[in-house]
């Protein structure tokens, strides 16, 4: 955080919300936008005024899929191939790297905030070795922002659920300890029991009143079969709007007809998706998901962890990668991605689009960039000059 981090702001003057006309934004003492229009700055404490200098203003970025508990930022890297190998290697080295821990979590949170992120949904490992320590470390690191940065937790059973007796009990404990969601991982590929894992996780979520966010890497027809199971159980248990499929590579790998049919069922059931814009794989068909009413969020995934040495913490960079890999070029398509990175991705942290937009009544989460318009911000990804969360300075 900058030297004046968490300084309260009442007025952000001379900005261009979404690239529109230059205006001022007045923030209430509750951290929400009170008025948009010309404001006399002399009526306010100068220390609570930010001069936007005509910069582009966007809502704060929403990182809908992160792993902030296990970044090895600043550490040496060595990994193994394959999902099982990576899990095994991570378990072997995490203690020596101090993972999970407050310090590495704080480091990766700071990088995300520096790139304009003000809200995060993070998967946090829960297993028989680490217990709930990761949840505690993430909460302590996030507490330094005093609510100006919103971090929501998915209790993530990285090493499987059914194949590790006791993990389901840990997930229940995590839900009762305040985790907003519980997760899963490749019900077929990891647990070898897609019906069993999906029934167990969604059933537990219904009992405990939390959301579900399942990693699904299994491809094509195998992955699609598991999506169908998730959709059916979501509808049966009344979990619409509370179930997310992360990655979901299978969706992009299906032929058009079956894909559209499956997306329609997902939309009806209230199942959402997140993507990290993976390289070397087809991207999710954003237009088709929109048409089917399936919410989409963008996330950074792991940042320099034992799974990959890559990552900067810039959610905007994931949007750039997705747009380019999807061959998006029209202004409306590029703007749609920016909205997915901001207001239209706010569902991932339990907000409506209006609650996370530059509108009266919205939470005063915003980022200022030297860009012509949202499209320019996406394709050029300029530095985030000012970041404000809930009406307080995070960067700037």
| DSSP output for 206-260 | HHHT-EEEEEE---HHHHHHHHHHHHHHHHHHT-TTSEEEEE-HHHHHS-HHHHH
Co-location of 73 and 212 in the same domain: yes
Q: Is there a cis peptide before residue 38, judged by omega within 30 degrees of 0?
A: no
Same domain, 121 and 270: yes
Residues 6+ apart with CB under 8 A from 130: 94, 100
Claim to verify: residue 32 and residue 154 sit in the same structural domain: no
Q: Are residue 327 and residue 313 in the same domain, yes or no?
A: yes
How far apart are alpha carbons 81 and 175 in whole angstroms?
A: 32
Residues 209 and 85 in one domain: yes
214 in the same domain as 148: yes
Domain with residue 278: its CATH number is: 3.20.20.140
Measured distance CA(343)–CA(355) in Å, rounded: 8
Task: Tell me, yes or no, whether 4 lies in a domain.
Answer: no
For the stretch 139-192, pLDDT in tens is: 999 999 999 999 999 999 988 999 999 999 999 999 999 999 999 999 999 999
Pair 195, 229: CB distance under 8 Å: yes
Q: In this structure, are 317 and 385 located in the same domain?
A: no
Model confidence at 308, pLDDT cuts 50, 70, 90, reads confident
The reported pTM is 0.95
Q: What is the CATH number of the domain that holds 377?
A: 2.30.40.10
Pairwise CA distance, residues 243 & 252, whole Å: 19
Distance, in Å, from the CA atom of 282 to the CA atom of 228, rounded to the nearest integer, reads 20
CA atoms within 13 A on the CB side of 360: 5
User: Where does the pLDDT of residue 79 fall: very low under 50, low under 70, confident under 90, or very high at 90 and above?
Assistant: low
Sign of CA dihedral 140, 144, 147, 151: negative
Query: Do 138 and 232 share a structural domain?
Result: yes
Share of the chain above pLDDT 90, in %: 87
CB 318 within 8 A of CB 299: yes
Residue 5 lies in a domain: no
pLDDT given for residue 282 in this prediction: 96
Residue 224 lies in a domain: yes
Q: What's the CA gap between 42 and 330, in Å, rounded?
A: 42
Report how far residue 267's alpha carbon sits from residue 273's, in angstroms, rounded to the nearest whole number: 10
Residues 65 and 200 in one domain: yes
First to last CA, the chain: 9
- 152, 28: one domain: no
Question: What is the arithmetic mean of pLDDT over 202-209?
Answer: 98
Name the percent of the chain lying above pLDDT 70: 97
pLDDT tens digits along 333-376: 999 999 999 999 999 999 999 999 999 999 999 999 999 999 99
Same domain, 335 and 365: no
pLDDT-derived band at 77, boundaries 50, 70, 90: low
Read off the DSSP letter of residue 10: S
pLDDT at 3 over 50: no
- d(CA 298, CA 276) in angstroms, rounded, equals 6
Please report the pLDDT score of residue 197 as a whole number: 98
Nearest to 386 by CA among 21, 25, 20: 25
At residue 298, the pLDDT reads 98
Q: Which domain, by its residues, includes 205?
A: 61-341
86-90, 229-233, 262-266: range with lowest mean pLDDT: 86-90
Structure tokens at 378: 């996406």
């Amino acid at each position: 955080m900058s030297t004046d981090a968490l300084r309260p702001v009442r007025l952000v003057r001379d900005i261009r919300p979404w690239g529109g006309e230059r205006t001022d934004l007045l923030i209430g003492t509750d951290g929400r936008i009170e008025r948009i229009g010309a404001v006399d700055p002399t009526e306010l404490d100068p220390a609570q005024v930010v001069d936007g200098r005509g910069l582009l203003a966007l809502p704060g970025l929403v990182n809908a899929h992160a792993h902030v508990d296990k970044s090895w930022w600043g550490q040496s890297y060595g990994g193994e191939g394959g999902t099982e190998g990576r899990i095994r290697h991570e378990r072997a080295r995490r203690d020596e790297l101090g993972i999970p821990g407050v310090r590495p979590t704080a480091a990766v949170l700071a990088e995300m905030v520096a790139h304009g992120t003000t809200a995060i949904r993070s998967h946090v490992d829960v297993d028989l070795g680490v217990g709930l320590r990761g949840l505690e470390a993430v909460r302590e690191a996030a507490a330094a922002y005093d609510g100006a940065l919103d971090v929501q937790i998915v209790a993530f059973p990285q090493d499987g659920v059914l194949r590790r007796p006791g993990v389901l009990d840990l997930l229940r404990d995590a839900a009762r300890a305040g985790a907003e969601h519980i997760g899963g991982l490749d019900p077929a590929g990891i647990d070898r029991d897609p019906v069993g894992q999906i029934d167990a996780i969604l059933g537990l979520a219904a009992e405990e009143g939390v959301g579900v966010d399942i990693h699904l890497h299994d491809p094509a027809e195998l992955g699609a079969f598991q999506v169908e199971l998730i959709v059916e159980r979501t509808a049966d248990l009344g979990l619409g709007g509370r179930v997310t499929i992360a990655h979901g590579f299978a969706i992009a790998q299906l032929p058009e007809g079956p894909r559209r049919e499956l997306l329609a069922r997902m939309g009806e059931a209230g199942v959402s998706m997140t993507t990290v814009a993976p390289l070397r794989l087809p991207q999710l068909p954003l237009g088709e998901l929109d048409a089917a009413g399936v919410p989409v969020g963008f996330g950074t995934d792991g940042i320099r962890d034992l799974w990959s040495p890559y990552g900067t913490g810039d959610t905007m960079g994931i949007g750039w990668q997705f747009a380019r890999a999807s061959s998006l070029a029209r202004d409306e398509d590029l703007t749609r991605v920016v909205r997915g990175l901001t207001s239209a991705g706010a569902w991932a942290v339990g907000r409506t689009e209006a609650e996370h937009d530059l509108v009266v009544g919205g939470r005063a989460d915003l980022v200022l960039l030297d860009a012509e318009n949202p499209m320019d911000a996406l394709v050029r990804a300029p530095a985030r000059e000012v970041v404000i969360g809930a009406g307080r300075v995070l960067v700037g």
